[in-house]
Chains A and B, each alone.
Chain A
Amino acid sequence: MSTTIAAPPDKRVLITKPRTSDRIFRGVVTAFGISALLILTLIGVFLSVRGIQTFHSQGWHFLTNFKWEVVQNDDGTATSNLGIGAMLLGTILISIVALLIGVPLSIAMALFLTFYAPAKLKTFLVSVVDLMAAFPSVLFGLWGFFVLMPMVTYWAKLIYKYFNWIPVFSAPEPFFERSPFTAGVVLAIMIIPIVTSVSREVFAQTPLDRIQAAYALGATKWGVIKSVVFPFGSSGVVGGAMLGLGRAFGETVAVFTVLNIVFRGNWHVLYGAGGNVASLIILKWGESTGDETTALLAAGFVLFILTLVVNLSANFIVRRSVKSGK
């Protein structure tokens, strides 16, 4: 008698034949599901089709050129020398300021909400943070200009007075109104809600058994946060910060209000001259024609790609960190 073990039978393929109504239902819903992809693609297509002329006429230099000039020639034609180098530099500068101020505050708030606040205060503060996210950006512009800017200008003067030996805090001349620093502070406040809520979500998922293990070893609250919560949630916080960065890149109206837009590469954060791609678009939109309008569309395309990349990587990081915790 042979003792070979019988091979397991082949798996049966399960076929369900949906009814007509279900097929229509699935078809319609799937079509709408795909529409999101379609819209996103169309945004890229339409902006790039219009903007491509700019890349033809200005070349890749468009991204690094600090000038934005349209010169009327004698024969009626116009020569344009257009670039968003200064605006890109400014966007990055402002966003860095926003992250440096906004992210630590958001982490503090998220930790407070998750581990320190009593239940009632927590509910209240969560609403406050959500409320902040719902403020229209034109409100931030208005408030930023009339309330925050005088304060920030004062801080800027102080920082300049004591730290101007640090290159970033120096300035070609003592003019501190509507500086990248001002815009960065406004943006910091605007990105706090998103960074806080992502961080809070990640912190709240820290496995309870590990937190308890640390407490059972005699850890203080801060010890638990440092040794258990941060290692668990750090990548989520990074993802949240990047979502904030995406916001900061794309913010238009508020930045426009509190920033002095100048076509010059300025990296002195305190000095009142800066740039921002999104603000450039609304600054030049009303008066622009021909080449200039096309260039603004090209700038919009660059901004779109920039925020897309930042957002996708942010979501990737957040999702990975949330998954790995389970």
Chain B
Amino acid sequence: MTQINQGDDNSTNEGESMTTETVPSSLAGVAASRSSSRKPGTLPMGAGLEARGVHAWFNKHLALRDVSLDFGFGTVTALIGPSGCGKSTFIRTMNRMHEFIPGAAMAGEVLLDGKDIYAAGTDVTKIRLQIGMVFQKPNPFPSMTIGENVLSGIKLAQLKVDNKDDLLEECLVRAGLWSEVKDRLSAHGGSLSGGQQQRLCIARSLAVKPRVLLMDEPCSALDPGSTLRIEDTIGELAKTMTIIIVTHNMQQAARVSDYTAFFLSDGGPGQMVEVGPTSEIFSRPRDKRTENYVSGRFG
């Protein structure tokens, strides 16, 4: 597991061979301690997701400047920072949802297993199948039942599944919703509570077997009880996939994540100030601004 610091531009050229050779000094220890989990072959689902010099624009407005981050398989990375710091913009560049906003532009690369997801000729729908996303507001499809919602990705992407019932159960179990809805799978998604709907959306994302799951403030619209349940779910999911979560809630970041990246905008474009193991970011951050933020002096 490596984390490339902002501004580190000397890394090797991207290409098929690009894996995890670049180990910046500051986090080398952490990387070494966890690198055993990334041996090729041992984990077929392994997905290294890496952002390199990502910039994002909305028309002329530069919203995000030069973010480089590496997300190792099986880790949970929290992106924190005050509103408008570009963390949501950043997460949306990671599965190419950024481009839906009219006037959007970007620079840099996002590498999934070493391959740029923005490369010409890439099938964007395949990228999104591998990098799933859960949104701020629960958004189950209202015209579909609970069961159909979970399997909607299969239908949308026209994937072949041997046993739909098994998959349905598996996804709902992993999302921590199975026991609550197993008797009413044919009820409409809208009949669930907000927290249940959000877990339904997580289950829906899981059905297409993504290797990375992006979560954009998944709990901001939920009550504390539902939030806790989703945090438990995140812990479970992290055993089999890479998770990136944007959150406003620093306690949540501290609870669920292995690594934390702090984003900040000083009036100009959002930038990543610092990244490191969560415990370090919260106990002894290297940057003064991070310290001010995590200690609650602003934001």
Contacts and interface: CB of A to CB of B under 8 A. Distances in A.
Interface of A: 119, 207, 209-210, 212-220, 223-224, 227-228, 231-232
B204 A210 contact: no
Contacts of B295: none
A228 B100 contact: no
Given A207-B139, A228-B141, A232-B143, A213 B201 contact: yes
Given A227-B152, A227-B155, A216 B97 contact: yes
A218 B125 contact: yes
Contacts of B52: none
Contacts of A220: 125, 156
B141 A213 contact: yes
Given A227-B152, A227-B155, A217 B100 contact: no
Nearest to A211: B100
Measured as residues with beta carbon below 8 angstroms from the partner, the interface class of chain B is 20 to 34
Given A119-B102, A212-B100, A218 B208 contact: yes
B128 A209 contact: no
A217 B139 contact: no
Given A217-B132, A219-B156, 8 more contacts: A212-B100, A212-B139, A217-B152, A217-B208, A218-B129, A218-B153, A218-B157, A220-B156
B97 A217 contact: no
Contacts of A227: 141, 152, 155-156
B38 to A, nearest CB: 25
A213 B134 CA distance: 8
Contacts of B95: 216
Contact of A215 (B100, B143, B155, B208): B100
Nearest to A214: B156
28 contacts: A209-B139, A212-B97, A212-B100, A212-B133, A212-B139, A213-B135, A213-B139, A213-B141, A214-B152, A214-B156, A215-B128, A216-B132, A216-B205, A217-B129, A217-B153, A217-B156, A217-B204, A217-B208, A218-B125, A218-B129, A218-B156, A219-B125, A219-B157, A220-B156, A223-B156, A224-B156, A227-B152, A231-B141
B229 interface: no
Contacts of A224: 156
Interface in B140-164: 141-143, 152-153, 155-157
Interface in B189-208: 201, 204-205, 208
Contact of B141 (A119, A210, A215, A218): A210
Given A207-B139, A209-B135, A215 B129 contact: no
A114 to B, nearest CB: 13
Contacts of A215: 97, 100, 128
A209 B137 CA distance: 8
A228 B155 CA distance: 12
Contact of A210 (B97, B139, B155, B208): B139
B184 interface: no
A271 to B, nearest CB: 42
Contacts of B208: 217-218
B126 interface: yes
A227 B153 CA distance: 10
Contacts of B133: 212-213, 216
- Top 6 nearest A-B pairs by Cβ distance? A218-B129, A231-B143, A217-B153, A219-B156, A216-B133, A218-B157
Given A210-B141, A227-B141, A232-B143, A217 B135 contact: no
Contacts of A231: 141-143
Contacts of B153: 217-219
Nearest to B92: A212
B151 to A, nearest CB: 10
B82 to A, nearest CB: 23
Nearest to A227: B156
A264 to B, nearest CB: 46
Contacts of A217: 128-129, 132, 152-153, 156-157, 204-205, 208
Interface string B204-238: 11001000000000000000000000000000000
B248 to A, nearest CB: 18
Nearest to A219: B156
Contacts of B143: 231-232
Interface string B68-82: 000000000000000
A217 B135 CA distance: 12
A209 B141 CA distance: 10
Contacts of B125: 218-220
A291 to B, nearest CB: 55
A217 to B, nearest CB: 4
